[in-house]
Amino acid sequence: KNEVEQSPQNLTAQEGEFITINCSYSVGISALHWLQQHPGGGIVSLFMLSSGKKKHGRLIATINIQEKHSSLHITASHPRDSAVYICAVSSTGNQFYFGTGTSLTVIP
Amino acid sequence: KAGVTQTPRYLIKTRGQQVTLSCSPISGHRSVSWYQQTPGQGLQFLFEYFSETQRNKGNFPGRFSGRQFSNSRSEMNVSTLELGDSALYLCASSLENTGSPLHFGNGTRLTVT
């Protein structure tokens, strides 16, 4: 049983398309993180949120605490957005759980 | 401001040996957490240190241990290495783990032969 489920696992999009990645979790959380990992391993934290919605450039993250669900949206996708996107949660039990990641490829 | 620094970047060890990995957090960050990433299991939480104390621990055997020094630098040790310990080991620092964004290092890629 995975505490964090992500979908889709793989996603291919044309440049300019609107992209949505979904994350569902089953534990009580203190925060939810969206992470980006490029080939080579480096991880960048995109968002940390515990309620509502956050926006940074073309990226938008939303969370619905009642439904235990979060989405990451990328507007006007670009080839440089190609990466693995990982949802992670800090649980109220002081554990940290990760989704398996969504591999995004944006084709020019 | 310098980012999170992990050393070494690559390491090759033999089964049965032990290894120590190092993580220097961003200046002013007091929380350091460690993660293991493998193709089969994905990212998994190892442990978190705050002000030299282990605050949280994931579900890993006792062969995995760590410590944090007074300057917030952290080390992770794996004893009696097994082939399955081959992985990318990442550390992240934050001001305060549960309430602050995480800043990741580039990782140490450990290969056990």
pLDDT tens column, A8-22: 999 999 999 999 999
H/E segment holding residue A8: none
Strands (E), chain B: 5-7, 10-13, 19-24, 31-38, 42-50, 53-57, 64-68, 74-78, 87-94, 103-104, 108-112
Distances (CA, A) of A61 to A26, A32, A80, A82, B22: 19, 10, 19, 17, 33
- pLDDT given for residue A37 in this prediction: 95
Residues of B in contact with A35 (CB under 8 A): 102, 104
- pLDDT given for residue B2 in this prediction: 79
Of A12, A1, A5, nearest in space to A32 by CA: A5
Distance from CA of B67 to the nearest CA of A (A): 18
CB contacts < 8 A, A to B, total 55
Distance from CA of B100 to the nearest CA of A (A): 8
What are A33-91's pLDDT values in tens digits?
A: 999 999 877 899 999 999 999 999 999 999 999 999 999 999 999 999 999 999 999 88
What are B22-52's pLDDT values in tens digits?
A: 999 999 999 999 999 999 889 999 999 999 9
- Of residues B1 and A104, more confidence is placed in A104
Q: Which amino acid is at B22?
A: S
